Amino acid sequence: MTILNWNSQLELGIDSVDKQHKHLIDLTNQLDEAVAIGAERDTLIKIINDLINYTVYHFQHEEQLMLAAEFNPTLYVIHEAEHREFVAKMLTVQREVETDVNTLSEDLMDYLVNWLCHHILSTDKQMALSLIKGIDAAQIQIDKQEHHEIMQSNLYSALRESENRFKELAENISALIWITNANHVPIFCNHFWFTTFNLQADTLTREQWLNRIHPEDRDNVTQTYIRAAKELSKFKIQYRVLNTNGKITWIYETAVPRVRKNNSFAGLMGCGMDITSQKQAETVLARSNAQLEEEVEKRTQELIKINKTLEFEKNQQLLLNKQLQEAQMHLLQSEKMASIGQLAAGVAHEINNPIGYINSNLSSLKNYIDNLLALIAIYEKAETITDDTGQLKQIRAFKQKIDLEFLKTDVLDLLEESHEGATRVKKIIQDLKDFSRLGGDDDWQWADLHVGLESTLNIVNNEIKYKAKVVKELGCLPEVKCLPHQLNQVFMNLLINAAHAIEDKGIITLRTGTTNDRVWVEISDTGKGIASEHLSKIFDPFFTTKPVGKGTGLGLSVSYSIIQRHQGEIQLSSQVGQGTSFRIILPINGVSNENAPDGGRTN
């Protein structure tokens, strides 16, 4: 499509000039087409550069012709000024496009068309007549009416060519192509449009067109057209066309407003597609989807019911597994504690006998030593009255040799230490016998927790003494109704774990106290601490962070169960690299018969 067409009315009679004018029109049409199709910036800049360069070449050629023919100097200056003005304008356009391609607009094309027509039909025509006829250009008058008619004729020719191409395209496309005026009356509709609406071109009215739109869609279509006219906005809409035979055709329509130069509404131009097949397919698909959703919902409900059954069975299985695991844990611990208890009782009994007579012998030996020392004292008094100087020297030399004075004090210290050691062994044995005593699980009694702590600490001393210093910050505790031997087992587990958590040397702190009707025992260490990801699993059966073969993972789990049985709680706080603290909280009055686990008595 061209914005200007070359014809004989534009010919001036100078072949070189006419040829150059024709090429300028071609370049203008190229630029118009590039702007219309949205060509790339580089393409637009190239066309503008070609237009500028060729215009400069054309102007130089004309000026050479005028100088050679001694053209009117005054008009030559005017002609030259017009040339410079046009080149300056195009150079400005060139710079603007290089910065922002969107600066090109219809105004530029209007400027080019008007300038070309004025240049050819006014300035250059005056020059051509002067050169061909050999007369002064100042005596030549250009008929402005003829100039206007030629220009309008040329533009009308281009528009008519454009309209013919549009109509040819519109009549041969399977789409609804239409144009309305400002009153929404169709002024152009293609053959496919008339066929779809089942209307005749010679009798077409606005009412006939609206009556073909389905009653349920008619108001929406009308309001959409009115809103587009008011807002000068494009739109997309779907509606149904209802023919006289009752056939329904679905239309998908896109339209844009036609706007005059004064920005007033001139009508709409649109394109519609027959989407009936698509709508029918959508209906079938929707029906199939509904059936599928119904079937899926049915199957989902069945699966939910099955899943609930499976979930219930799974929970039951998990519960049974947990009960079995706990039973196995308690069985293992009971077997272990029973074996340890029997072994400890036997060992304590075997050790107790020799310790008994060692302790008795030490007492007798002390009496003997006391007598011997008394006898030595009598002998020492006799030294002052004896006359046998030789024998006296011999006695004094022997006393000096054996350091009798040191021996008399040291032998008593040795006897005292030996007696203390035997007493300590006897105490350890008694604590071990008490700790390993096989009593019933329901043997609830009032007990002093400090005594249990001391006896347990005495038993596990060998695990602790090489790694940690034990610091006691004990408060005043009342007796607590409990299962003492089970709480001692808890103390032992926590003390051993504290010792194992200390890698080199550290401190284990024992604290006790009361809060309302509850007592608490806290065992803290300065060990390596427990990682945060392990805190939630620390009381799980068989969970351990110790190396394989170094722990069963039952100690804390059993301890947790024992404290639960006492209706107490274990609080844990730990920080990696700084240590761990376990606090055991117990009710002073124990548990009631109704709440006691496994029917425990509170007598």
* Residue recorded with tokens 């550290």: 506
Q: Is residue 438 part of a domain?
A: no
Say what the pLDDT of residue 102 is: 64
- How far is residue 40 CA from its own chain's centroid? 41
Query: Which of residues 363 and 522 earns the better pLDDT score?
Result: 522
Q: State the average pLDDT over residues 304-329.
A: 82
Q: Do 92 and 52 reside in the same domain of the chain? A: yes
Q: Collect all residues with Cβ–Cβ distance below 8 Å to 368 and sequence separation of at least 6.
A: none
* Residue recorded with tokens 């281009």: 158
Judge contact between 250 and 279, C-beta under 8 A: yes
Nearest 5°: the CA angle 120, 123, 125 is 60
Instruction: Report the distance separating Cα 432 and Cα 36, nearest Å.
Output: 104
The tokens describing 531, both together, are 């990682």
Question: How would residue 593 be classed by pLDDT, with cut points 50, 70 and 90?
Answer: very low
Q: What is the largest CA-CA distance in the chain?
A: 185
Name the domain boundary from 120, 139, 168. Answer: 168
Question: How would residue 544 be classed by pLDDT, with cut points 50, 70 and 90?
Answer: low
Neighbouring-strand partners of residue 295: none
Q: Do 421 and 471 reside in the same domain of the chain? A: no
Say what the pLDDT of residue 254 is: 93
- How far is residue 52 CA from its own chain's centroid? 57
Mean pLDDT check: name the lowest of 7-11, 105-109, 583-587. 105-109
Instruction: Report the distance separating Cα 5 and Cα 25, nearest Å.
Output: 8
Long-range residue pairs from 347-352, CB within 8 A, at least 24 positions apart, any chain:
347/432, 348/429, 348/430, 348/432, 348/433, 348/436, 351/425, 351/429, 352/426, 352/429
Give the domain extent around 463: 443-599
Q: State the average pLDDT over residues 394-421.
A: 73
Fill in the amino acid letter for 160: R
Q: Do 186 and 269 reside in the same domain of the chain? A: yes
Q: Is residue 23 part of a domain?
A: yes
Question: How would residue 336 be classed by pLDDT, with cut points 50, 70 and 90?
Answer: low
Residue 193 has pLDDT above 80, yes or no: yes
- List the strands of the sheet with 506-515, edge to edge: 468-473, 506-515, 518-525, 579-587, 569-575
Say what the pLDDT of residue 327 is: 67
Q: Do 161 and 16 reside in the same domain of the chain? A: yes
Residues 227-266 pLDDT 10s: 999 999 999 999 999 887 888 999 999 999 988 767 888 8
Say what the pLDDT of residue 584 is: 93
What is the CATH classification number for the domain harbouring 97?
A: 1.20.120.50
Instruction: Report the distance separating Cα 514 and Cα 568, nearest Å.
Output: 13
Q: Which of 203, 204, 233, 235 is nearest to 221 (CA)?
A: 235
Mean pLDDT check: name the lowest of 186-190, 243-247, 257-261, 575-579. 257-261
The tokens describing 349, both together, are 């009994």
State the total domains in the chain: 4
Q: Do 399 and 469 reside in the same domain of the chain? A: no
Say what the pLDDT of residue 135 is: 84
Q: Do 557 and 486 reside in the same domain of the chain? A: yes
- How far is residue 407 CA from its own chain's centroid? 83
Mean pLDDT check: name the lowest of 7-11, 218-222, 341-345. 341-345
Neighbouring-strand partners of residue 582: 523, 572
Name the domain boundary from 381, 400, 433. Answer: 433
Q: Is residue 1 part of a domain?
A: no
CA distances from 558 to 224, 329, 330, 555, 595 (A): 78, 8, 7, 5, 20
Q: Is residue 2 part of a domain?
A: no
Fill in the amino acid letter for 587: P
Portion of the chain with pLDDT greater than 90, in percent: 18
What secondary structure letter does DSSP report for 266?
E
Mean pLDDT check: name the lowest of 128-137, 203-212, 356-365. 356-365
Say what the pLDDT of residue 202 is: 73
* Residue recorded with tokens 């494009």: 234
Q: Do 492 and 595 reside in the same domain of the chain? A: yes
Q: Is residue 3 part of a domain?
A: no
Q: Do 153 and 189 reside in the same domain of the chain? A: no
Q: Do 268 and 340 reside in the same domain of the chain? A: no
Neighbouring-strand partners of residue 188: 179
What is the CATH classification number for the domain harbouring 571?
A: 3.30.565.10
Q: State the average pLDDT over residues 310-317.
A: 89
Question: How would residue 438 be classed by pLDDT, with cut points 50, 70 and 90?
Answer: very low
The tokens describing 263, both together, are 């920005």
Q: Collect all residues with Cβ–Cβ distance below 8 Å to 513 and sequence separation of at least 6.
A: 475, 477, 519, 520
Residue 549 has pLDDT above 50, yes or no: no
Question: How would residue 598 be classed by pLDDT, with cut points 50, 70 and 90?
Answer: very low
Portion of the chain with pLDDT greater than 70, in percent: 75
Question: How would residue 124 be classed by pLDDT, with cut points 50, 70 and 90?
Answer: confident
Question: How would residue 164 be classed by pLDDT, with cut points 50, 70 and 90?
Answer: low
Q: Collect all residues with Cβ–Cβ distance below 8 Å to 377 and sequence separation of at least 6.
A: none
Query: Which of residues 518 and 203 earns the better pLDDT score?
Result: 518
Query: Which of residues 72 and 172 earns the better pLDDT score?
Result: 72
State the DSSP H helix or E strand holding residue 180, giving kind and residue range, or none if neither: strand 176-180
Mean pLDDT check: name the lowest of 254-263, 311-320, 361-370. 361-370
What length is written for the chain? 603
Q: Do 153 and 181 reside in the same domain of the chain? A: no
Q: State the average pLDDT over residues 436-454.
A: 75
Q: State the average pLDDT over residues 530-556.
A: 65
Name the domain boundary from 230, 256, 274. Answer: 274
Residue 285 has pLDDT above 80, yes or no: yes
Q: Is residue 237 part of a domain?
A: yes
What is the bridge-based pairing of β-strands 569-575 and 445-447? unpaired
Say what the pLDDT of residue 541 is: 63
What is the bridge-based pairing of β-strands 176-180 and 186-189? antiparallel
Q: Is residue 485 part of a domain?
A: yes
Judge contact between 123 and 59, C-beta under 8 A: no
Q: What is the mean pLDDT of the chain?
A: 79
End-to-end CA distance of the chain: 112
Instruction: Report the distance separating Cα 580 and Cα 264, nearest Å.
Output: 84
What is the CATH classification number for the domain harbouring 236?
A: 3.30.450.20
Q: Which of 2, 22, 3 is nearest to 11 (CA)?
A: 22
Mean pLDDT check: name the lowest of 153-167, 467-481, 515-529. 153-167
Say what the pLDDT of residue 599 is: 37
Q: State the average pLDDT over residues 373-399.
A: 70
Nearest 5°: the CA angle 325, 330, 335 is 125
Q: Do 301 and 315 reside in the same domain of the chain? A: yes
Say what the pLDDT of residue 347 is: 56
Say what the pLDDT of residue 594 is: 39
DSSP string, 39-88: --HHHHHHHHHHHHHHHHHHHHHHHHHHHHTT--HHHHHHHHHHHHHHHH
Q: State the average pLDDT over residues 172-199.
A: 84
Neighbouring-strand partners of residue 473: 511
pTM over 0.85: no
Q: Is residue 245 part of a domain?
A: yes
- List the strands of the sheet with 265-274, edge to edge: 186-189, 176-180, 265-274, 248-259, 235-242
Query: Which of residues 121 and 110 earns the better pLDDT score?
Result: 121
Q: Do 338 and 413 reside in the same domain of the chain? A: yes
